[in-house]
Structure 1
Amino acid sequence: MSSSRKFPFAKRVLPVLVALLLAPSFANAFTPFVVRDIQVNGIERVDAGTIFTYLPVKVGEQFTDAQAAEAIQRLYATGFFSDVKIDSVNDVLVVTVQERPTIASVSFNGMREFDSKEIIKSLGQVGFGQGRVFDRSMLERAEFELKQQYLSKGKYGVEINPIITPLPRNRVGVSFDIFEGDLAKISDIRIVGNEDFSQGTLLDEMELTTSGIMTWYTGTDKYSREKLEGDVERIRSFYLDRGYLEYSAEPPQVSISPDRQDIFVTLTLHEGEPYNVRSVKLAGDLLGLDDKIQPLVEVKEGETFSASKTNATVKAITDYLGTLGYAFANVNPNPVLDRDAHETDLTFYVDPGRRVYVRRIQIGGNTRTRDEVIRREMRQQEAAWYDAGNIKSSRDRVDRLGYFNDVNVHTTPVAGSPDQVDVNVDVKEKPTGLINLGVGYGSTDKLILSAGISQDNIFGSGNTLSLQVNTSKTNRAAIISHTDPYWTKDGISKTTSIYYRRTTPYDSRDSFGDYRVTAFGGGLNFGVPISEFDRVFTGVSFEHNKLSELSPQYTPQAYQDFVTEYGEATNSVIFNLGWSKDTRDSAIAPTEGSYTRLSGDLSTMDLRYYMLSAQQQYYLPLGRAYTVAFNGMVDWGKTYGSKSFPVIKNVYGGGIGSVRGYEGASLGPRDTLTNDYLGGSRRIVGNIQLYLPFPGASRDRTLRWFLFTDAGQIANTSGGACTGGINNHSVDPCGWKFSAGVGLSWQSPMGPLQLSFGRALNAKEGDDKQAFQFQIGTGF
């Protein structure tokens, strides 16, 4: 029996029983009389007028023993009194009451699982709290409610002991002593009645699991009634997706061990037989759009019935009608079963409803962000036909601004106007100013320190202003940038930046070179949206480069040659043009979609070169928990004019982000004097990665392990000889390098963490291998 029904029944019936038991005594106490006056004794907080309203008699009226019984019943039923007596003295009706105490305070001892303020609020909803009348039945109800809160958390060993402390002025203090106990965990899940699918297959569909090596992190072995109900529904969907239209399940049986530490779950199923689809029809008001709606039907004749395809068809038709202004369209699938043939005739009944348009868009919750910052992201327009696609796109665009913790877009009908709705955009702002301090570590860059201050929504305008500083063993950088995402009303963005970089190029283990490249400059870039997913970007920047700490004996020969050809200091103006398209479902842990980027840089003045770059990522889901990812990138640089490609603009490969299993930046030519890694003007990298669920964390996309294979090549586009370092120390530095291995990806609180253990598959003499590699603070 639920808590809402258990105690109020006794509270209503008990006063009636008491009144009926006491009623006969009044027949002996007095005979009927006319009330000359009414006197009330024993009240402290309750007003006398309150008691008068519950009495079935007034001064000057006759009072009988039946009315006395009724009066006692009414006064008990108020819940204000623990005792009620009625007497008569010289035709004066005397009512003597004893008030119940009020609750002065509610406290908890030993509570760690919940916030006491939230629990007090929860108990208040069942009638128990500070200022309320103290009642033993309500205390039992509060104790029951509190215990239910703990049971929902899987703490079945909880012990609750209420302590009542009398206080002056007829008050009490209520304190709950709580021993929370240990968390009960699922020890066994058993499925009964499954014949066509194994228990392991069905358990894979469930969120709850038995205890395992990672359940300390995922918590999936903690029993929850809500989670179990979700798992029951998931198994039901599993069968319906495979045509088992007569599938049914009995209520799950949950038992607990005597020591309240282990929970056992049993699911009993009745599978039935799978059904094939014999015919598929559309019915109802199709608005003459049969040729548009028919292609949206995913269910095909002759196939095994699939609930997911049926639901997808319903959604597709509803969404399509929503784009035409039919905001309240209803599509009802109706399968008619032929049990002898195990076939079904499926009919989709379409009711588009009334076409509506948007009267106005109302924005709320933005105390700091200007309305225009939100409105310019809206693709649904006022006084236009309702378009479900535009409303969803609007919601996603507002959310992608990053200024809000929550974005809720919903429609409300306009009273008295059956063909109008209002679109309400309710946002919950979050702090957009950020001061960050970070520490990372990479197997190549070693210790990485970062600091920055940024304001993503400065003065509520939607503009971004930031200062970022990073430092590591080989690189230091400081960048100040300002971005106006709506420099024009058409959504063209403008970014202005100035930067400083100091780089000590990668050294090999036996290098003794010593030099430094310092660069500073500024740029102006524009982004032009051409669709919801595509963007063209272009810009120009000025850059000054200087080489310092040069030594004829210890500086790599390639850098000495660069100084001879270009000088120690160079200036260049760099123009860039590019295009990107991003359809990934997540930028952090994608499972489907693709990312494409093409760009080109053209440098003028002292450094005359161009660099063309391309990258393509593709994510293909393999079932619910597996994803295969493909990544390919190409960089191709060349000079125009008579000079060689500037070595300070070379690209590098090897390590995390390119070819794992090889030392970071070790691929490509080596310097003939110092054996330093020089990189090259051409880079080709390809990666294939299979993400798998971590044991015990199958539904957590932020923690995954993976198998990978990498391939890459660093060389020069000039066609010159590929130098292998001192005395050709490296046999084939510019050849293709392959590797394979296993790794772990985790979106940790410190930032993206990636661990990999790779094996170089075709390493040659002189190649620098590194099996174990890891990095914190950057993603792959």
Structure 2
Amino acid sequence: MRTLAPFDRVLAAGRGRARLWMVTKRALGSGRILALALSVLIAGGLKAQAEQKPPPGRLVAMRIFGSRRYSEAEIVRATELRLGAKAAPQAFQEAADRLAATGAFSDVNYTFSAKPGGVAVEFRVTDGGDFVACNFDNLVWFSEMELRAQLRQMIPLFAEEIPLKGDIPAKIEAAIAHLLKARGIPGTVTIMGAGEMGGALRALQFNVSGVRLVIQQVEFSGAQAVEPTALIAAIQPLLGADYDQTFVREFVRRNVTPLYARRGYLKVAFAAPRASVLAGSSQEVAVTIAIAEGDPYNLGEVHWEGNLVFPSGELAGHIHVLPAQPADTVQVEKDLEEIQTLYNTKGYLAAQLNFKPAFDDRARTVALDVQVREGDLYTMGKLEIAGVDPERAEALKKTSELLPGQPYSRAYWSTFISKSGRLLPASRTPWKASQKEDVHPDTKTVDVTLTFSPDTGK
């Protein structure tokens, strides 16, 4: 005979045998139960004993299966179930709800069964896929190690990466607010997303607003190849600025990296800035940045690809860094800009040049593979002269040596303007001219308007 019995009665039945209760929960963020199935097979003799008051069921065993991201102990902690505590189906359902609410799992299933002395439960989970880095910005009152350690104690499943959805970000926000309040620090904890422009979100960043932190000191550790005076000059604008880790990191990347690149240190890396409150102050901070300089590289061969207008030998003559010298890529980039201007003089207005380094770590040399994209040839269209009377405008137009249909040269007009003074009317102040280009991609032509006016200094 099959009988559907209450959970506690099955535990009380001496000769009863509960095979399985199974609850399946698909974590969709809403916490709704999609399927609930209870199936119990009871042997004979249950009826008489079920009339007795059963002893309370205790949780005697718990197992977790399915996660590669978290350990079993971490997930057990997140369920908030305790071995030896009173066990009921509702408690298991609430534990499944808690796991689903974290956003860490796409599916949460559980089963429970009677065991000697109580009940055992098993959870089977499927890891979710939407995780991002957890970063901290201006929480200067804690070291990052200290802060992460405290958050691990306060929040189950807290780690270097956290679910983008679910309640863990809000729990981190609340925990940080609690830690700040305990230290008497005002301000509001905020969460910001971080990622490339137009790209996917790669991190959640926690910071404190409403508290001004002023940078008073900046120190570099591990710096040997660049003189301290050069580093000090590079970061001088940071002193007195408000501390923001993202801003400081980007500032260092833009202003300190070139100092190393000029010396051939092409693999220099900077650790995340670390800030600490200065003694005797609540708002002034010292910033420390660790540098991993790497090895210096000398320039090897420079290879050209995609160039048809100019031969490789001519282009190579514009590179001012010689083989076997420190691979000054800052100078190389300037040289490529010069070559791009050279293309502009021949009508190739969309020319682009980029290089990729090919490192030989054993020889400590770097070859540069320069990719040239010449683009389309543009020719001269119409020339208009404004700011002077029509007769003078026509006279000026006739002096132009860049005629319609010829390859357009962006650099020509400075020469034209410098020679036009003899045809302009007398003026108490020198004449100046502004240049406007109308580029037509459909016809591959460029119309130019030059506007002359007396230079009044305004």
Same fold (TM over 0.5): no
Q: Which structure: larger Rg?
A: 1
Greater per-residue helix proportion:
2
Question: TM-score under structure 1 normalisation?
Answer: 0.26
Greater per-residue strand proportion:
1
